[in-house]
Structure 1
């Protein structure tokens, strides 16, 4: 995602999390009148070259605002700015990836100055101003405002296109599908002359809500377009790449559970694990200290689980709900795999190239679905070193003079070394296919997978001993 989009999406996501903290607090205190009042407002001003992102979230006290300032400056330096401008920051580098993943890193890439104004429910309004060189002391904000936080940015000349109404609308609709609270955009971006004095006035400007859409996990799966699937995937991962497969599920019983699960081509190790699966309870993101994390071998999975009108309150009975969520997630990925493999084996092979180790770890770690993972294994063979085959395909094309209950294999350091192994020629003469196994984990796999569909595994290297 380009930096001009990233700063906006990050600030909206920050506002989203602030609102959800507020929601959790109000929910615990039974402050029900506030539960439907949360919103995020976007106020572009092309005359001043500025933009404000304002939320009605929990707000910050002085210590929290000070910590926020430190977080903003923690990865941002003039050196990093220069490296970003010259395209030298490498996402594949762990240290550089940490910089890029910092919520606030893009701010000073696109803006010269940043003003933060914030207020908690009981505290006084505070403000501070930041630039690449320095920041002002935290002081009281003289005017009245309700609880929440405002980020007001002075945009650099080369990024003024972000102030366009159409650009903002398109970016938010494409990248912020997971934000269930209203996001409203100022209709006429020339109406405000002074953000400080006008940003908190009620009903004084014309706002238009731009995320007023039905979440696709509430739709009939037959009505969902590929574009809709892609938008939600991009919103979760902030990744424009195509995913391998996706599926909508609806579970009915004592309560209703809706979910959309994605399988990515690449593993999502660079995506915050707590932000790969979003849990919505009555259309509010769950804020729980025991954030659910998928097993590491499923780091190619992301999605949304919606939970409504349940006698089990996830806010207070998280462990029980967590078990339910985990069960359905682990089961449903195999529904996606079976569907996608049936429709397009080539797409699956592309996925497998990046995720073969994760599939094998799933086989070792998930006893319930171990046999499902066995069907996902793919190997090169003495018949074809260009295209991998499944264990089922090996069985289907085994010939009459081959023992019908044996799957022959050989283990080695690399595909090239196995192709040159003298033992292969002997079996080629008999027209017997040999599977090539080159991962260290294959030894562990064969300790637990002693047979497949009643076919025993036989190492041809041991045959010769």
Structure 2
């Protein structure tokens, strides 16, 4: 950071990410320029909310002015627009933290995803958030003057930047608390220094913000009416432009979809519409209102579990806190919105919320509301549900482990690929699978692998394809962990096709079972020879009854940890056991018959080890010693060529 002090003014360098974001917004949001006013008014309204909350315990912060408001003004001659609030305000430290840096994780990932395509990149901004920096979409210079509520007048701060490499911070005198942002508009953005234009934007984007948004209305001079009577002059005054009604307090019949969408953008700083929402007012033993939204895009810091996230909390319409995580479980951390309770005290804190019975009741109700909203979308709007699943599906998969009470309901919402379809799209639900189950089938079969390709080509599927039995294909990293917590659905056991002995239940007739028993006896000596050749590389060797086309496969014993779970634990830095696979051999395969006839024990051992490596590659996509595998394979090919 560059820093130079001159007459009390300090010059700082922007974070690299800030400079890149500024340039991206300036050049990408050409079709959404007017959102700058929505963003700055939203920030000002938040500042008013924060002061209202702080003043609950310290009324002196109001400084004899408890009428909180946001004012928008312009100067056509100077080509400026000013947004002024009397909210909580900032000191020099706040200005440096909030205006000079981007305090969001995932920033690096954000820039990795940039494509250079303006339309696509502008969508990325929606995932990242726009906020204060949207001012530079229309301004080539921004001046912020602020003083924190409760500070002395000489402790104000002025922040100035032209949106390039630097910004300056200077201590100033400011009599009134709050923040005043002046935008020096670019020459080609003069349209925004206009009364009608600004009023139109405010009505469009900020109508249902609970803080009044005011603009100056000019007075009228004394005049004479048509009847010759004198009409008194009127003085100019500040006029409230928005409805200034907290949207969630209004009846649903009074609101349009556009009202909900714009309010979502206000509370989320997203500029894409939400996928869906639920607005509910509950009366009775517990009285509260909730307005919950499902976003269309995941933020870049979705996987940062340390980031505070949650609902906005209001108590009797008074803002209490942002990101109240107590009202939504972690696996629903993507939900945006608010809850307004009549049953919590106005001085509620995060600590009080932790063990509060009212909090627990509200959390249960909000969780149920979101799950029902998702279930409804999954049934009635499959296209949008697929959008949701692609963005948030892996987060929702945390649910069965975290929320035992709602495990079955969450399981209905999960989506996977399956052998019923030909592609990797995760669109098959457990209810879909159950509806298609064959007569006599009492289990749900699944296969977990590292990729869709590895799952769909796994040899363990061969018998299922032959018998026309659908298998759910799982290839997300979290899936094996999920299945350790989700063992049944709709009373039907979930069974991995790569674990333990093959169990088709009533789908296997008595004749097939008898043939399998006879095969086990017939090939006992061959199996023993395989086991001896592999020494300590496998846990057991068996005659396979699940293969029809492949010579061999490996499976995991029911009592052992799966390879996917082992890999997941390794990535988490956990110690893992040394698990050996069960090696299943298709004794009817021509290659296996050839190997079984090899008399040279050294060559036989090479054949068996190659067979094991091939089976391991098919199951796991990798082997411990690929060099030795290639060497053995080359030796065998050379011997066949002689």
- Give the shorter-chain TM-score range: 0.7 to 0.9
**Distance between the aligned counterparts of 1:116 and 1:378, measured in 2?**
48
> Hey, what's the Cα distance between the residues in 1 that align with 2:339 and 2:471?
43
Distance 2:120 2:276 in 1: 30
Q: Give 1:391's aligned residue.
A: 430
Distance 1:299 1:177 in 2: 27
Deviation at 1:70, TM superposition (A): 6.7
Please report how far the alpha carbon of residue 49 of structure 1 lies from its aligned counterpart in structure 2 after TM superposition: 0.6
Compare CA radii of gyration and give the structure with the larger one. 2
Q: Residue 227 of structure 1 aligns to a residue in which SS?
A: helix
CA distance in 2, matches of 1:97, 1:313: 33
Retained in 2: the 8 A contact 1:59–1:118? yes
Residue 348 of structure 2 corresponds to 315
8 Å contact kept, 2:274–2:295: yes
Q: After TM superposition, give the deviation of residue 295 of structure 1 in Å.
A: 4.4
1:461 counterpart = 2:498: yes
2 CA distance for matches of 1:15 and 1:48?
23
- Partner of residue 139, structure 2: 111
TM superposition score normalised by structure 2: 0.59
Give matches, 1:101-250, under 5 Å.
101=129, 103-108=131-136, 110-119=138-147, 120-121=149-150, 123-124=152-153, 126=156, 128=158, 130-132=160-162, 135=168, 137-140=170-173, 145-176=175-206, 179-187=209-217, 205-222=236-253, 224-250=255-281
> Are residues 1:56 and 2:86 paired?
yes
* Pair 230,71 (structure 1): closer, same or farther in 2 beyond 3 Å: closer
Q: Residue 14 of structure 1 aligns with which residue? A: 43
Shift of 1:182: 0.7
Give unmatched runs, 5+ long, in structure 2.
Answer: 1-24, 103-110, 220-233, 503-545, 547-583, 585-642
Q: Which of 1 and 2 has higher RCO (CA within 8 Å, sep 6+)?
A: 1
Q: Structure 1 pair 25/383, CA: closer, same or farther in 2 (3 Å)?
A: closer
1:230-309 equivalent positions in 2, closer than 5 A: 230-269=261-300, 277-287=311-321, 294-308=328-342
**What root-mean-square deviation, in Å, do the aligned CA atoms of Structure 1 and Structure 2 show?**
3.8
**1:427 matched to which residue of 2?**
464
- For the residues of structure 2 that align with 1:407 and 1:275, how far apart are their CA atoms? 36
| Deviations 1:211-261, CA, capped at 9 Å, x for gaps | 215444223445543222212222222333333321111222345200111
Indicate which of 46, 51, 65 corresponds to 2:92.
65
Cα pair 2:308 2:323 within 8 Å, conserved: no
Cα deviation, residue 205, structure 1? 3.7
Contact 1:277 1:303 in 2 (8 A): yes
Unaligned runs of 5+ in 1: 190-202
Change (3 A) 1:450 1:163: same
Mapping of residues 70-81 of structure 1, within 5 Å:
71-74=98-101
SS of the equivalent of 1:328 reads helix
Q: Is the 8 A contact 2:311 2:323 kept in 1?
A: no
Q: Secondary structure at the match of 2:276?
A: strand
Query: For residues 251 and 193 of structure 2, what CA distance do their matches in structure 1 show?
Result: 36
For residues 429-450 of structure 1, the C-alpha deviation after alignment (integer angstroms, 9 at most, x for no partner) is 3221111111232212222211
Contact 1:269 1:299 in 2 (8 A): no
**CA separation of 1:160 and 1:394: change in aligned 2, threshold 3 A:** same
- CA apart distance, 1:333: 0.5
What SS does structure 1 have at the residue aligned with 2:179?
A: strand
1:419 to 1:185, Cα distance in 2 relative to 1, 3 A: same
- Judge conservation of contact 2:451–2:475 (CA < 8 Å) in 1: yes
Shift of 1:41: 0.6
In the TM superposition, what is the alpha-carbon distance from 1:413 to its structure 2 partner?
A: 2.4
Tell me the number of residue pairs that the alignment of Structure 1 and Structure 2 aligns: 434
Q: Partners in 1 of 2:344 and 2:169 — Cα distance? A: 50
Deviates more, 1:167-176 or 1:330-339: 167-176
The 8 Å contact of residues 12 and 53 in structure 1, kept in 2 or not, is answered as: yes
Could you tell me how far 1:50 is from its partner in structure 2? 1.1
**Residues 409 and 459, structure 1, Cα contact 8 Å, conserved in 2:** yes
